[in-house]
Amino acid sequence: MDTVEIIRAKRDGHRLTDDQITWFIDNYARGGVIADEQAAALAMAIFFRGMQSDELATWTRAMVDSGSRLDLSGVGRPTVDKHSTGGVGDKVSLILVPLVAACGAAVPQLSGRGLGHTGGTLDKMEAIPGWRASLGVDEMVDQMRQVGGVIAGATGDISPADRRLYALRDVTATVDSIPLIASSIMSKKIAEGTDSLVLDVKVGSGAFLPEVDRARELARTMVGLGESNGVRTVALLTAMHTVLGRTAGNALEVVEALEVLEGGGPADLVEVTLALADEMAALAGLDADPAAVLASGRPREVFGEMVAAQGGDLSADLPVAPHVEVVTVDEAGWLGRLDCLSVGIAAWRLGAGRARKEDAVSPSAGVVCLAKPGDAVQAGQPVLELHAEEPALFDAAREALRDAIDVVDEAPVPQPLIVDRIEA
């Protein structure tokens, strides 16, 4: 095989052969034969030329085969997972994993850390004193058998080709290519060994792909990849125009997730979580009504068991930021817009997120929305609370929020939270 020939073929718009794809991915994952600049050139060629669906299926399977595929046959329950393309205030996994486990499935959620304005599930869980993200495969399988749900960091052998390619795409402006995103996400989810998968593809300013058409194309591509690899897959497109729930920030989101598990919490968060839980229960063939199971309180107990199994202590106090400031509105009316991306950037600048993979995050920092779009507001009313460990961080957060808030004269028409549903 000739690496330059493979790059040239894609540069000129040709379909790569299965042999070219498997050779390229296998050798890039191993290191040695293919240089980073050659892989970067191929990623850029794919960015511009795209991939045919069978070509992308082979590419994705080669990424899965670059590492190992977990064998979850021993967990004794149907397995079903959820993946979100990421948003602001998206603490759904903390509720959904124990909820679907309480419905009777096993949920093997291998998650990541946040980067930029979107939060990561592991960062949120790590706000719980003592909780550890890293589990061996046997520990994960045991926990799924006994408790039903696991949230953990991916093991080093899950799609190692993706680890190398993603780092490269990050520094070569080739992240936002639909075939490359879809294969990256789905290679990890297929390798995780789940029987079925629900995708939560976010749409709106806080989403990875804000426009609905691109989000729908991504959803269709990922559903196709799941199905062609034996993973039953359904996608929901859900709104991310404003923060989901009322909080963005690690410990703040844990508190809000616990509120939902205890029967309360914001209506939008409950609605999105239950819509995803319904899809997961159906894919897993469970005879359970997630809303009734949530109301029973059992998912709260399962969450406690999940946390304890990974060393966490929910009876210990969660971290609280020592400094809190508010953002007010000048006029009376209705809150028409509270821009999601701006709130995400503010939370990140307050310390809740990281700019580089190796940065630490603050467990206590973040933003609380005291009002949400559609709420009536008075002049001078506080609409946001900013939480930080250092007061010096407030100015940069306020700057991010400068054009984020609109107050309007008439109550805005509520927009649907569930925008679309895609299945094979």
Binding residues with ligand URA: total (CB under 6 A)? 6
Q: Which residue has the tokens 């294969």?
A: 183
Determine the interface stretch with ligand URA among 144-152, 180-188, 322-330, 389-397 (rule: CB under 6 A).
180-188
Q: Please report how close the Cβ of residue 357 comes to ligand URA at its closest, in angstroms.
A: 13
Q: Please report how close the Cβ of residue 363 comes to ligand URA at its closest, in angstroms.
A: 23
Residue 184 appears among annotated catalytic residues:
yes
The β-bridge relationship of strands 333-338 and 405-408 is antiparallel
Determine the interface stretch with ligand URA among 173-181, 215-223, 309-317, 346-354 (rule: CB under 6 A).
173-181
Q: Please, which residue, 43 or 284, has the CB nearer to ligand URA?
A: 43
Q: Please report how close the Cβ of residue 175 comes to ligand URA at its closest, in angstroms.
A: 6
What is the torsion angle, in degrees rounded to the nearest 10, for the CA atoms of residue 72, residue 74, residue 77 and residue 79?
A: 0
Residue 93 appears among annotated catalytic residues:
no
Assigned token pair, 175: 């992240």
Q: Hey, what long-range contacts does 178-182 have (CB within 8 A, 24 or more apart)?
A: 178/50, 178/214, 178/217, 178/218, 178/221, 179/46, 179/50, 179/51, 179/56, 179/59, 179/221, 180/43, 180/46, 180/47, 181/208, 181/209, 181/218, 182/56, 182/60, 182/218, 182/221, 182/222, 182/225
Question: In the chain, what is the greatest distance between 2 CA atoms, to the nearest angstrom?
Answer: 69
Residue 372 appears among annotated catalytic residues:
no
Residues contacting 232, CB < 8 A, separation 6+: 195, 196, 197, 226, 283
Determine the interface stretch with ligand URA among 61-69, 70-78, 175-183, 408-416 (rule: CB under 6 A).
175-183
| Annotated catalytic residue, options 10, 61, 82, 246 | 82
Q: Is 158 in the site for ligand URA (CB under 6 A)?
A: no
Report the Cα–Cα distance between both ends of the chain, in Å, rounded: 35
Region 185-214 residues binding ligand URA, contact defined as CB under 6 A: 185
Out of 20, 109, 121, 184, the residue judged to bind ligand URA by CB under 6 A: 184
Q: Is the dihedral of CA 124, 239, 82, 172 positive or negative?
A: negative
Contact 269, 275 (CB under 8 A): no
| Annotated catalytic residue, options 3, 22, 79, 84 | 84
Q: Please, which residue, 3 or 184, has the CB nearer to ligand URA?
A: 184
Q: Please report how close the Cβ of residue 331 comes to ligand URA at its closest, in angstroms.
A: 39
Q: Is the dihedral of CA 212, 214, 217, 218 positive or negative?
A: negative
Q: Please report how close the Cβ of residue 350 comes to ligand URA at its closest, in angstroms.
A: 23
Q: Please report how close the Cβ of residue 58 comes to ligand URA at its closest, in angstroms.
A: 18
Q: Please, which residue, 190 or 405, has the CB nearer to ligand URA?
A: 190
Residue 357 appears among annotated catalytic residues:
no
Contact 242, 339 (CB under 8 A): yes
Determine the interface stretch with ligand URA among 9-17, 30-38, 178-186, 210-218 (rule: CB under 6 A).
178-186
Q: Please report how close the Cβ of residue 46 comes to ligand URA at its closest, in angstroms.
A: 12
Strands, E assignment, 241-313: 247-248
| Annotated catalytic residue, options 189, 202, 216, 300 | 189
Determine the interface stretch with ligand URA among 9-17, 176-184, 225-233, 316-324 (rule: CB under 6 A).
176-184
Out of 144, 181, 384, 419, the residue judged to bind ligand URA by CB under 6 A: 181
Q: Please, which residue, 154 or 284, has the CB nearer to ligand URA?
A: 154
Residue 117 appears among annotated catalytic residues:
no
| Annotated catalytic residue, options 10, 124, 164, 169 | 169
Give the 3-state secondary structure of residue 333.
strand
| Annotated catalytic residue, options 66, 111, 121, 364 | 121
Residue 53 appears among annotated catalytic residues:
no
Assigned token pair, 266: 């914001």
Q: Please, which residue, 176 or 262, has the CB nearer to ligand URA?
A: 176
CA distance 20 to 22: 6
CA distance 88 to 202: 10
* Positions marked active-site: 81-84, 121, 169, 184, 188-189
Which residues of this chain interact with ligand URA, rule CB under 6 A?
Answer: 166, 175, 180-181, 184-185
